[in-house]
Amino acid sequence: MKWKISPADFRVTECYDLEKLGEKDEGKGEQYHYFLLTKQDYTTTKAIQKIASFFRTSIKAVHSAGNKDRTAITKQIVSIRERNQKKILEKMEEFNKAFSDMSLEYLGVFTSRINLGDNEGNAFELTLRDIDEEEFVRAQENLKTISEWGVLNYFDSQRYGYAGNTHIIGKYLLQGNMEKALFEILTATPPHPNPKLKESSEYIAQHWKTILEKGGEEEKRKAKELLGECGKRDEVAILAHLEKNPPDLYGAFRNLPKKIRTLYLHAYQSSIFDALLKKLSQEHNVQNYKTLPLVHAYLNTDKEVQDIIENLLEKDELALHKFALSAMPELQADSVQRETRIFPKNLVLGEKEEDEEHTGKYKVKLSFELPPGSYATQVVRQLFG
């Protein structure tokens, strides 16, 4: 079975209630313009960066309710803080003409920004391909299991960034190893990077020690130039800070927007949650827990869960007190519980059809709805697993 062969095979539409969102009021006298963002071949973070740049506003003025897949056609709600409605509508029209793979539809003006979790879920429409008869029969049988037992609520690979390393960066931050964290940020590449990104990553890795030290102006200039050609403005800002303040690694890191800095810690929390859920599942104890905690500095849960988490942290040379983040208290994580299982709504597996992409195989349509923060990958894996 294969999926995400093309963005058209993977469609995600955010579910939201505009009337409910309109009841929110932050009481700051600001105006927030809501848009429905349709995109493909962009992560949500990258799309927001492009929007902020095009509208000539700070990335802090643009918000979404959650991250959406890159290899997909996705629709989600975003907000932009701006008092001038005429200006915002004019820029929207210019934006829609400038981009062929993104568009904005105006939804109205509100008194509060969009925050993480403001959506009420996501609706998925998938086309799964390269399916044989045995796989299709197994999927039909597994529908009953999912209806009764749900799906284990693991995080998905998109939680760990396009290079699959955001949790590793989070680990280094918690360890206080800022040099390794910055190195990962500046040299991260996906499995098949474009030539420019590959060149910049290899150059920075080769000249890393010189870039960190005083002097080395030529190496720093070249590294900034290469990253700039890749459109990595935040990473260029990190190098610019190191150029002016060579020893100040924490200051360099703070050049990243807070939502991105926080993302690294959340990714590490997610990796520990996944490892905890897997351990309990293997030991057949997961049915004892409706929810499990995301690890934080003041975690105090039952002994079985506490012991597993502390053992996982020990393997990463960490302990709970490290989550207090004394050097970066603004990133300290809150206490959050996550469901161990999800139950997809309106789960429909279509009839098998001839797959024009794979001779002698079938394709099938799959649709369902999930609550915020849950991932379609887990439903597909359990359905065909």
Q: Which fold has domain 17-110?
A: Alpha-Beta Plaits (3.30.70)
* Per-domain residue ranges of the chain: 17-110, 121-152+343-384, 157-161+259-339, 189-256
pTM of the predicted protein model = 0.85
Element containing residue 40 per DSSP (H, E): none
Model confidence band, residue 103 (pLDDT cutoffs 50, 70, 90):
very high
Strand partners, 39: 74, 102
C-alpha count within 13 angstroms, C-beta hemisphere, residue 228: 10
Q: How far is CA 330 from the centre of its chain?
A: 20
**Could you tell me which residues come within 8 angstroms of residue 342 by beta carbon, excluding any fewer than 6 positions away?**
150, 151, 153, 370, 371, 374, 378, 379
CA angle 206–210–214, rounded 5-degree value: 165
**Could you tell me which residues come within 8 angstroms of residue 225 by beta carbon, excluding any fewer than 6 positions away?**
none
Q: How many residues does the chain have?
A: 385
Identify which of 267, 251, 249 has the alpha carbon closest to the alpha carbon of residue 259: 267
Q: Which tens digits make up the pLDDT trace of 263-276? A: 999 999 999 999 99
The maximal CA–CA distance of the chain, rounded, in angstroms, is: 65
Tell me: pLDDT of 100 over 90.
yes
Pairing of the two strands 345-349 and 362-370? antiparallel
Model confidence band, residue 143 (pLDDT cutoffs 50, 70, 90):
very high
54-68, 212-226, 232-246, 307-321, range with greatest mean pLDDT: 307-321
Q: Is the distance from CB of 12 to CB of 4 less than 8 angstroms?
A: no
Amino acid present at 303: K
Identify which of 6, 31, 150 has the alpha carbon closest to the alpha carbon of residue 83: 31
Tell me: pLDDT of 132 over 80.
yes
Q: Show the tokens assigned to 333.
A: 């994580």
**Could you tell me which residues come within 8 angstroms of residue 221 by beta carbon, excluding any fewer than 6 positions away?**
none
Q: Which tens digits make up the pLDDT trace of 152-174? A: 999 988 789 889 999 999 999 99
3 state DSSP class of 360: coil
Q: Show the tokens assigned to 45.
A: 């973070």
